[in-house]
Structure 1
Amino acid sequence: MSSTLKCLRALSDSTRLRIMALLERDELSVNELQEITRMGQSRISTHLRLLQDAALVQSRRDGKRTFYKCNDRADKAAREFISLAA
C-alpha cells in the first residue's frame, strides 16, 4: 500500500484528525491529550499507534512519559490534508 494511501486511511477518522491537529501545534503526552480530548488512555494510545504506523507522528521518551509530535518527514500530501482539515 502506498504511503499516501496509508496516511489518508489513518486520517479518515475524525478523532485521529483532531489529534493530528493538536500535535501540529505542540508536542503532547498521552495524559495531556486525555485532558484536552476527554478520552481514555487506551483509546488515545490506540489512535496514536495507528498514526505512528502511518508515519504521521513520532514519539520520544522522557522518563516515564512519552511525548508525541507530528512527524516532520510525513508524506507531503497527508500534511497538506491535515493543514486544510485543521
Structure 2
Amino acid sequence: MPVMHFRIQWPDNSEANCYSPSQVVSDFFTPGQDYPVHDFVSRAREALNIASERVREKYGFACSAAMDQLAQIEVEAERFISEPDARVKVIALV
C-alpha cells in the first residue's frame, strides 16, 4: 500500500509533516490550497479514516499510525478553532 505524506502550514506559520498509509489524501487535499481549520480537520478525519480502513481490508487491522496522525492534527487544530479566519495550507503531497 503506497504511503503518502502531506506537508501543511498552520495559521501561525508553523509547519508539520503528516502521514497517511494510503494515497487517498490526494482526493481530499490540493497542494498550494488552504482550507479553513474546521474544513481541514474534517477532510483529514475522513481521509485518514478511509486510509486506516484500507489497511484493515488488506492486513486485517486498522492503521494506528493514521489514527495517531489524526489525533495530532485535532490537538493542533484546537489552538486555532476560536479564530474564524484561520486557515491551514497544504504545501505538498509526497
TM-score calculated relative to the size of structure 2: 0.37
Q: Give the structure with the higher percent strand.
A: 2
TM-score calculated relative to the size of structure 1: 0.39
Q: Give the structure with the higher percent helix.
A: 1
